[in-house]
Structure 1
Amino acid sequence: MNRRTFVKLSTAALCACPAVGAVALQHAISPKPEWLQKLIQVNDQRLKALQAYRVADEKSPAFGGFLDGTDIPNPHSTVGFIRTAICALVSEESEFYKSKQIKTETEQALTYLLKIQHADGTLDLLSTNFHSTPDTGFIVKWTAPLHTLLRQADAVFFEPTLGLLQTFLKRAGESLIVGGIHTPNHRWVVSAALGALYQLWPDVRYAQRAEQWLAEHIDMDEDGQYNERSTYIYSPLTNRVLITIARTLNKPELYEYVRKNLAMTLYYIHPNGEVVTEASGRQDKAAVGNMDGYYYAYRYMALRDSDGTFAAMCREIEQTVLDKVAGHLSYFLEDQTLWRELPAAKKLPVNYVRTFPRSGLVRIRRNEWDATLISNNPVWLTFHKGNAILQGMRVAASFFGKGQFETETITQQGTDWLMTRRLEGPYYQPLSKEKIRDDGDWEKMPRSGRKQSEVQVMTTTIVIRERGNGLEIDLKLEGTDGVPVALELIFREGTFKGVQSLGTGKEVFLLPDNSTGTCTVGSHTLTFGPGRAAHKAVQLRGALPAMNAPTVYLTGFTPFIHTLRIS
């Protein structure tokens, strides 16, 4: 690449930042804002905690590295320390600012990282991936900004540190130019890492390889969600790395994807500030997830677009989980335009009904409570009222070992939402003579070749509607009579009243006939009922195992027709 092209790209990338020119420069030299100083203090505490995992034995092959929770030295734990340490070393507000001891330990950690880096430039994720380009991409994405921070803070003082870090990054860059990936977000992680390297050292191969991945187009659906639907882990990650690509490789069109996802996510937030995770296609499915991972993208786009709603989301995150944002401190130290004051806040959406058909969700929120209706999932309803949380509702019947209900679709009928499923339980007749094997091998005489008879049917219909300050749920399981049914109300925690313990030693309860139960957490009380308790068979054959959480059951037999109210 010639110098003219490089200068053009570099200038365009600068112009893509949230603010440019004299205003940006003026803010770049202003004191760190209070929220950033707090993150530096939290980072200091994290640095102290990480010391317990350091391999300090100079005779150990892993000297300088850091252990995980199972006492295995590994690159990710080691880089976690390096990130935390460098953010402290370059921050005047840190008690470890230019600490010679921490600087030495950082250089020892980098030496260990170089020791375990493969000849092809890759690193391992010891739990699953080896010679892993994607995991190397993650680590480059985390460490490349540190090179800038060290150079800007004091290139002479940090010269040995910079030398080690540069060696690691350039070796890693060679693997990113040629290596492959596993998952959708890996493409953007690797591209962001390449962009960060290109910003440091304008090797045209970095930009060309990123262009190859970007040519596949960003995997966003009409709802504004990425392919993996991972609202706690990979959606916020993808927002962060797309911003990095836009900044470093002059791709301002990528901001539109970030903007759409952030706008959608405003309708995925529970009243207590958590994010809906039930539709995720990754490991965060149904996990308790906070919004800290979104803070960088909301702040960046709020400043870039002068968006008051995004600014309001930033302030909510600051009020609820600001401490957790410290894991992304390097983003805010590197890009000083983010220190500017946010635009005036607008109101966040707290009263709505929104459908997300590509994710199979319906979201209902009415200020202090919200509900999520979910398709293609055995948990088809959640209900949050502050910190009193019904984290899952499931229903099953002991119908031929396959009676766990889940719906393929959620259909709106006026103000009602409909979920259905039809199951069949057939018996099979003898095979016709020509289909019988001489060896009598059952496995090679499949049931598909037999006529069915005595076919039993189970139809489940669930209708959900708003009633008063909550929901009304009509359940109807019918077809074959006399089939045991168990409805599960799975809570996160709480003090329960109006329920009857099953005496199993766990928090497992029945809700007696016509009774109303309550779950109280702090000042929040969730009410549910009326009850139904025709039997105590709560773990039915073919149903999913009970979750390790307080659970209230309603039981009966088909035809099971019942209306339950939650508020």
Structure 2
Amino acid sequence: MLDVSYKAKVIDAAKRRIPADVLAATSDEYTLANLAHRPTMELIKGMVALSAVSSDTVMANGGQLLDCLSALVAHLSDLQLDEGLFCGGDNLVSPPDSGFTINDLCLAMELVGLDRCSPEVMAVVKEPLMSIARKAAPAMLVGGIHTPNHRWEISSALVGLGVLLDDKRLIERAHQWLAEHIDIQSDGLYSERSPNYAAHVSNPCLIAMARRLRREDFLDIVNKSLKANALLMQPDGTLETMQSRRQDQFESYDPEPFLSQARLLANVKADADVVAFAHELSERDIDDPARHLTELLIDERVCAVLPQVADGRDVGRDAGPRIVDFLDTKMSRALWFDDTAHPLRTATVYAGSDFDATYRVASGLANNASLMDYHTRELGVTTLRLAPDFFDIGPLRPTAIRRTGMRWTAEESRTSGYYQPLEEEYIQGDGRYPMTYEGRFFAQMSFDKRHRDEMTLRSTVDVELSDDGFTVRVHFDGPRTTFACVVGLVGDDLRIDAGVEFDGSMWAARVGSPVIAQAGDTRLTLTHDEEAGTAPTAYDPGETVTFVGGGPRIVGTPVKFSGVTSSDFVLTARFEPMAR
């Protein structure tokens, strides 16, 4: 059965947004000339979709929008390089970046092939887009990629071109990429663990290939991804991202791009979490109507009436939070739901950093040093980090967690030390030795040939979650040194009322005094137990960060606590509603 109200909502958003965007992009020659290939094709796709549901809108004002569409198509043709590809930012002559545009082109041509767009629009776009496709095909056939998700982006583009141009070689090349198998983890996150790339690349590409190749197993993978992302929902409607290996790991992520995917899979698979996710996203404003209108028109299951959220869904309304263990990602989440299956409070405990394996902070790695977060609808602790002053290695990044009920334990062991003279067989008469990596820095020292007198600091972090907050207990074994614990506080009109003083870089907690903050009608009290007389210490993000001029990248307002490793450190957070 058609969800009439949802379809009308998407069409209404498209009629308001797409013409405005097209007119703005073509308002003058300079603006159009600076429009990159991907947004250009997105606007063309939007106009094709809009013409399928409201040709009057496209032809209004004497066909002004049709003239704009013609200008966009000509501009896209001009942007195509002689090699048949496009440039994307610093990615020159780029097959994967071209794949994004080609995928949208194939979607637009799929609509044209369904005879759903107006004849006037077909006359403007059909032959020029076919010409672009024919010119791109040879380069896409042999093109390479950079990142895990690019494999599915370029595979989808190859399949789309193969169907559009009736060229089996393109589809065979796609199968060569697909033979590597989709990088979905057992916990439902792709290997990049990024909501952004799941929403914009992997999921839509798998959906397109499922349709064109009749690969229903691809929909199973998308459903698994959607279920996982549904369980990353925060009380403010964004998704948890600390686990990501991509740029979004320090940002909140609006899940609106998952909308059509969630509606499709909710109607195909009826998984309770995906159904609830689809209902949640369907109630929001339509931010990208060109995307969602196109997907609705291509597969009408997107706009079918959604199943109801199952009455028996384990939302934890009466029995406490629902605990979800993302085992491959080394992350656990606790979610407290209201009676509409929307999270009231969430907490995340995390030990999935890639730092221990690489000793690098770099693109493509999980770099976020957060050990946990805890969010309510008005006020939250968006990160908690612990940084011992130990050979400038930086904050703790445990690599495993274990859970017993509502208590999590994470452990980390870090080792550095001092090197002895080289043995005679490794001594070079000219004093020139290979450049080697010590774990913190490089030097011409043949570190790998030297004996090291090792110094080790072991850390045990216990996190106990409750309905009104959390308690963190930290124990160290090893040399006595100072450490800093930093929490990031977030909330609308956040105010810190007591227990802090500014130390020149951030708010520092006073020893023996609780920190009290509030936002909206919620108050947070942070009590801390550390060794008496502890002097404030700086938070050290580590030499790998500071050497290149980087900083701690703490989301929210940071509050710092100081301690020494010779004593256990206890931090307790309690959230409570304020009396009106």
TM-score (norm 2): 0.81
Distance across 2 between alignment mates of 1:333 and 1:76: 21
Match of 2:498 in 1: 498
Match of 2:519 in 1: 521
Residue of structure 1 aligned with 2:262, choices 290, 298, 303: 298
Identity %: 23
Alignment of 1:319-468 (within 5 A): 319-320=283-284, 322-324=286-288, 327-346=291-310, 347=313, 349=315, 351-367=321-337, 368-377=344-353, 378-413=369-404, 415-431=406-422, 435-441=426-432, 443-453=443-453, 455-468=454-467
Distance across 1 between alignment mates of 2:49 and 2:71: 16
Alignment of 1:203-352 (within 5 A): 203-234=167-198, 237-307=201-271, 309-320=273-284, 322-324=286-288, 327-346=291-310, 347=313, 349=315, 351-352=321-322
Match of 1:56 in 2: 28
Is the contact made by 2:69 and 2:124 (CA closer than 8 Å) also made in structure 1? no
Is the contact made by 2:10 and 2:292 (CA closer than 8 Å) also made in structure 1? no
Amino acid at match of 1:91: V
With over 3 angstroms needed to count, the CA separation of the structure-2 counterparts of 1:345 and 1:555, relative to structure 1, is same
With over 3 angstroms needed to count, the CA separation of the structure-2 counterparts of 1:106 and 1:305, relative to structure 1, is same
Distance across 2 between alignment mates of 1:243 and 1:41: 25
Distance across 2 between alignment mates of 1:264 and 1:431: 52
How far the C-alpha of 1:335 sits from its partner, in A, is: 2.8
Match of 1:546 in 2: 552
How far the C-alpha of 1:352 sits from its partner, in A, is: 1.3
How far the C-alpha of 1:93 sits from its partner, in A, is: 8.6
Structure 1 unmatched runs, 5+: 1-22, 68-72
How far the C-alpha of 1:47 sits from its partner, in A, is: 4.2
Structure 2 unmatched runs, 5+: 338-343, 354-368, 434-442, 546-550, 575-580
How far the C-alpha of 1:487 sits from its partner, in A, is: 0.3
Is the contact made by 2:279 and 2:306 (CA closer than 8 Å) also made in structure 1? no
C-alpha RMSD of the superposition: 3.0
Corresponding position: 1:113 with 2:76: yes
Corresponding position: 1:103 with 2:66: yes
Distance across 1 between alignment mates of 2:330 and 2:456: 26
Distance across 2 between alignment mates of 1:115 and 1:165: 12
How far the C-alpha of 1:299 sits from its partner, in A, is: 0.8
With over 3 angstroms needed to count, the CA separation of the structure-2 counterparts of 1:318 and 1:435, relative to structure 1, is same
- The range that moved more, 319-328 or 389-398, is 319-328
How far the C-alpha of 1:288 sits from its partner, in A, is: 0.7
Is the contact made by 1:295 and 1:325 (CA closer than 8 Å) also made in structure 2? no
Match of 2:54 in 1: 92
How far the C-alpha of 1:512 sits from its partner, in A, is: 1.9
**Aligned residues between the structures:** 523
Distance across 1 between alignment mates of 2:333 and 2:127: 51
Is the contact made by 2:241 and 2:252 (CA closer than 8 Å) also made in structure 1? yes
With over 3 angstroms needed to count, the CA separation of the structure-2 counterparts of 1:436 and 1:355, relative to structure 1, is same
Q: Deviations over 1:417-441 (max 9, x none)?
A: 2111223342334445665544445
Corresponding position: 1:45 with 2:36: no
Is the contact made by 2:17 and 2:289 (CA closer than 8 Å) also made in structure 1? no
With over 3 angstroms needed to count, the CA separation of the structure-2 counterparts of 1:445 and 1:288, relative to structure 1, is closer
Residue of structure 1 aligned with 2:122, choices 131, 145, 158: 158
Is the contact made by 1:78 and 1:113 (CA closer than 8 Å) also made in structure 2? yes
Distance across 2 between alignment mates of 1:484 and 1:394: 14
Match of 2:548 in 1: none
How far the C-alpha of 1:188 sits from its partner, in A, is: 1.9
How far the C-alpha of 1:414 sits from its partner, in A, is: 5.8
TM-score (norm 1): 0.83
Is the contact made by 2:18 and 2:47 (CA closer than 8 Å) also made in structure 1? no
Is the contact made by 2:516 and 2:524 (CA closer than 8 Å) also made in structure 1? yes
Distance across 1 between alignment mates of 2:163 and 2:429: 72
Q: Deviations over 1:321-358 (max 9, x none)?
A: 54356543321233334322112222474631121121
Is the contact made by 2:49 and 2:290 (CA closer than 8 Å) also made in structure 1? no
- The range that moved more, 362-371 or 240-249, is 362-371
Alignment of 1:153-192 (within 5 A): 153-156=117-120, 158-192=122-156
Match of 2:160 in 1: 196
Distance across 2 between alignment mates of 1:325 and 1:555: 49
How far the C-alpha of 1:523 sits from its partner, in A, is: 3.7
Secondary structure, in 3 states, of the residue corresponding to 2:195? coil
Distance across 2 between alignment mates of 1:467 and 1:339: 40
- The range that moved more, 468-477 or 46-55, is 46-55
Is the contact made by 2:223 and 2:269 (CA closer than 8 Å) also made in structure 1? no
With over 3 angstroms needed to count, the CA separation of the structure-2 counterparts of 1:302 and 1:348, relative to structure 1, is farther
How far the C-alpha of 1:530 sits from its partner, in A, is: 2.8
With over 3 angstroms needed to count, the CA separation of the structure-2 counterparts of 1:565 and 1:390, relative to structure 1, is same
Q: Deviations over 1:127-157 (max 9, x none)?
A: 2322222222211211222234454222255
Match of 2:572 in 1: 565
Match of 1:13 in 2: none
Amino acid at match of 1:546: P
How far the C-alpha of 1:409 sits from its partner, in A, is: 0.9
Corresponding position: 1:80 with 2:34: no
Distance across 2 between alignment mates of 1:89 and 1:382: 46
Secondary structure, in 3 states, of the residue corresponding to 2:461? strand
Distance across 2 between alignment mates of 1:437 and 1:373: 49
Amino acid at match of 2:241: T
